[in-house]
């Protein structure tokens, strides 16, 4: 197309003001407001301009497009007004899937968030005295209840909340060890996804990292030899997302606690996963919990709210009251604090623990689902979707805890395996992602695998409808 022709087409494009005065766009402006409609119209006109410049549209089509501007404008408005953050169905079987928002919350938790967020609340207000209160009072009382008598007998334990466990580690190190040394085993200098690396957080906290031992073996004597007058802390970091096996050695936490006590320094443990109960009942062994840690004599323990605890994203610091008070006075605490929504979610989640109603916590319930139960649902679903073109069978497999917890613990499960005559596994999985709500599945060995452990039972029908729709 010659540039003269293009100029002629450009000239035919109406101005925004002009287009907005046409009846259909006036209607849209009334419904969606002038600014929204104007933005959408600008986007549509810009697309036409691009098409003209690229020579991709000629006179006749442009005339048609300009006569029907309202359609694309309305579509653009709808696209812009749609939420980007949306619910999805997690059929991966990864219970704490960091990319899918880790722990889903219980209905009761949502109600408590709603109830306190939709109006004013006593977040920082003491109803008895009528004076200013502390926001962490709401959850500290429940943590006190959960932390057994046995631990409290010889010391007062309190808990504070920050934005996530990375923030908890930063705050604890900065409060307790800035300008001093922190001793860590070389086998525990971990990276937990994204940019959380122990040496980096240590540097940001202003504490000096003192590495001891080797990758596979660190003895109590290694810690002991490294202690000097600048030492403030011994730090134990939970190897959340990996394991070291073979020729290995690591002193038990209780031995580290005894050493710290003897030498007048503190022992801190970054637990990460932060289970509040013994998970052996759900078939997960070797995952230390917060109470074990405190019972072994750890002064300060840090853990996530949205991993094995099953609550909202948060970082929790539990430990000796005096040390926690030091952290509360640190101005970093103010910068890292959480909002009322998190307090409400955490309070409601903790209440389920106090009531021993562990099944009310969705991730704990998912962990406890039996192979049989999942198998029955899988068989029913597989039968509904199978067709001449779509082979659907139920096979044995594993669910994963995820979220950097219990890396070697898997839960036996029953998977739905799909293979299609015409669509590849990747195409099927992409189709599922395009469904409403999107369904996220695993692809392995040319098959799409669906694990119903992480699918809520009331979503089974949605999954089956979606599969039938995309394979029809
Ligand atoms: C997960 C984890 C973290 C980071 O916790 P977030 O809540 O994701 O910030 C830190 N340390 C350990 C040991 C962890 O497992």
**Mean pLDDT to the nearest integer, 60-81:** 93
Tell which atom from ligand 1 comes closest to the C-alpha of 315. 7
Mean pLDDT of the chain: 94
Q: Please name the residue whose Cα sits nearest to atom 6 of ligand 1.
A: 165
With the most atoms of ligand 1 within 8 angstroms of its CB, the residue from 304, 305, 401, 402 to mutate is 304
Q: What is the pLDDT of residue 1?
A: 67
Check pocket membership of 163 for ligand 1, CB cut-off 6 A. no
Mean pLDDT, range 241-268, rounded to an integer: 93
464 lines ligand 1 (CB under 6 A): no
For the cut 90, the answer to whether the pLDDT of residue 116 exceeds it is: yes
Atom of ligand 1 nearest to the CA of 304: 7
For ligand 1, is residue 236 a contact (CB within 6 Å)?
no
273 CA distance to ligand 1 middle (Å): 7
Q: What DSSP line would sit under 40-79, residue for residue?
A: HHHHHHHHHHHHHHTT---HHHHHHHHHT-HHHHHHHHHH
| CB-ligand 1 contact for 293 (6 Å cutoff) | no
Atom 11 (ligand 1) nearest CA: 272
- 166 pocket-lining for ligand 1 (C-beta < 6 Å): yes
Pick the more confident residue, 208 or 273: 208
Please tell me the distance between residue 303's alpha carbon and the centre of ligand 1 in angstroms. 7
Among 432, 465, 446, residue whose Cα is nearest residue 89: 432
Q: Cβ distance 359 to 365 under 8 Å?
A: yes
373-414: pLDDT as tens digits:
999 999 999 999 999 999 999 999 999 998 766 666 789 999
367 Cβ closer than 6 Å to some ligand 1 atom: no
Query: What is the distance between the alpha carbons of residues 191 and 242, in angstroms, rounded to a whole number?
Result: 10
pLDDT of residue 283: 79
Output the CA 96–ligand 1 centroid distance in Å.
12
Are the C-beta atoms of residues 275 and 287 closer than 8 Å to each other?
Answer: yes
Which pLDDT value is given to residue 78? 92
Q: How far is the CA of 140 from the centre of ligand 1 (A)?
A: 21
Enter the tokens of residue 415.
């998977």
Does the beta carbon of 272 sit less than 6 angstroms from any atom of ligand 1? yes
Is the CB–ligand 1 distance for residue 404 below 6 Å?
A: yes
User: Cα angle at 384 between 378 and 390, to 5 degrees?
Assistant: 95
pLDDT (tens digit per residue) in 199-253: 999 999 999 999 999 999 999 999 999 999 999 999 999 987 788 888 899 999 9
Q: Is 237 near ligand 1, meaning CB less than 6 Å away?
A: yes
Q: Delineate the domains of the chain, giving CATH numbers in brackets.
A: 3-79 (no CATH), 89-97+365-471 (3.90.1150.180), 107-358 (3.40.640.10)
Q: What is the percent of the chain where pLDDT is above 90?
A: 87
For range 271-279, the mean pLDDT: 91
**Model's pTM, two decimal places?**
0.90
Mean of pLDDT values over 168-193 = 95
Ligand 1 mean position, distance from CA 148 (Å): 24
Specify the pLDDT at position 287. Answer: 84
Kindly report the protein residue whose alpha carbon is nearest to atom 15 of ligand 1: 272
Q: Evaluate: CB of 310 within 6 angstroms of ligand 1.
A: no
58 CA to centre of ligand 1 in angstroms: 57
The predicted-structure confidence for 129-177, as pLDDT tens digits, reads as follows 999 999 989 999 999 999 877 777 778 999 999 999 999 999 999 999 9
Work out the percent of the chain whose per-residue pLDDT is above 70: 98
> What's the CA-to-centroid distance between 93 and ligand 1, angstroms?
21
> pLDDT tens for residues 417-453?
999 999 999 999 999 999 999 999 999 999 999 999 9
For 319-363, what is each residue's pLDDT tens digit?
999 999 999 999 999 999 999 999 999 999 999 999 999 999 999
DSSP string for residues in 240-297: TT----SS-B---HHHHHHHHHHHT-EEEEEEES-BSS-GGGGT--S--BHHHHHHTT
Ligand 1: does its nearest atom lie under 6 Å from the Cβ of 287? no
Q: Identify the weakest region by mean pLDDT among 183-187, 278-282, 313-317, 347-351.
A: 278-282
Q: How many CA within 13 A on the CB side of residue 123?
A: 16
Looking at the predicted structure, is the pLDDT value of residue 456 above 90? Answer: yes
**Hey, what long-range contacts does 78-81 have (CB within 8 A, 24 or more apart)?**
80/36, 80/39, 80/40, 81/32, 81/36
């Amino acid at each position: 197309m010659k540039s003269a022709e293009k100029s002629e087409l450009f000239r035919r494009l109406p101005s925004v003001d002009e287009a907005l005065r046409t009846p259909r766009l006036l209607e849209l402006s009334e419904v969606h407001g002038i600014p929204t409609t104007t933005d959408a119209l600008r986007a549509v006109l810009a697309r036409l301009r691009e098409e003209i410049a690229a020579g991709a549209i000629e006179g006749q089509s442009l005339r048609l497009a300009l006569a029907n501007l309202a359609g694309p404008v309305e579509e653009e408005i709808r696209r812009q007004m749609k939420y980007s953050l949306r619910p999805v169905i997690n059929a991966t079987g990864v219970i704490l899937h960091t990319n899918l928002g880790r722990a889903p919350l219980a209905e009761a938790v949502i109600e408590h968030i709603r109830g306190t967020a939709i109006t004013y609340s006593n977040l920082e207000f003491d109803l008895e005295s009528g004076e200013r209160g502390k926001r962490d009072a709401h959850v500290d009382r429940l943590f006190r209840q959960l932390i057994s008598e046995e631990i409290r007998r010889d010391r007062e334990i309190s808990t504070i909340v920050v934005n996530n466990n990375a923030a908890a580690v930063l705050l604890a190190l900065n409060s307790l060890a800035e300008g001093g040394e922190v001793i860590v085993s070389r086998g525990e200098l971990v990276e937990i996804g994204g940019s959380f690396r122990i040496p980096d957080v240590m540097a940001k906290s202003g504490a000096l990292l003192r590495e001891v031992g080797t990758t596979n073996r660190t003895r109590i004597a290694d810690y002991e030899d490294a202690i000097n007058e600048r030492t403030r802390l011994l730090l134990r970091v939970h190897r959340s997302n990996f394991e070291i096996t073979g020729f290995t050695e690591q002193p038990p936490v209780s031995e580290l606690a005894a050493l710290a006590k003897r030498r007048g320094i503190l022992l801190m443990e970054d637990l990460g996963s932060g289970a509040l109960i013994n998970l052996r009942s759900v078939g997960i062994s070797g995952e230390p919990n917060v109470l074990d840690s405190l019972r072994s004599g750890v002064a300060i323990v840090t853990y996530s709210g949205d991993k094995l605890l099953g609550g909202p994203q948060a970082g929790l610091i539990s430990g000796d009251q005096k040390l926690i008070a030091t952290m509360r006075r640190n101005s970093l605490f103010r910068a890292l604090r959480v909002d009322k929504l998190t307090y409400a979610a955490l309070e409601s989640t903790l209440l389920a623990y106090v009531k021993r109603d562990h099944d009310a916590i969705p991730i704990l319930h998912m962990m406890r689902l039996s192979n049989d139960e999942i198998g029955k649902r899988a068989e029913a679903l597989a039968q509904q979707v199978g067709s001449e073109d779509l082979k659907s069978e139920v096979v044995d497999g594993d669910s994963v805890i995820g979220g950097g917890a219990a890396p070697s613990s898997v839960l036996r499960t029953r998977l739905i395996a799909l293979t299609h005559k015409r669509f590849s596994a990747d195409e099927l999985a992409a189709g599922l992602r395009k469904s409403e709500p999107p369904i996220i599945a695993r692809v392995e060995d040319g098959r799409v695998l669906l694990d119903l452990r992480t699918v809520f039972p009331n979503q089974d029908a949605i999954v089956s409808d979606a599969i039938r729709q995309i394979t029809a």
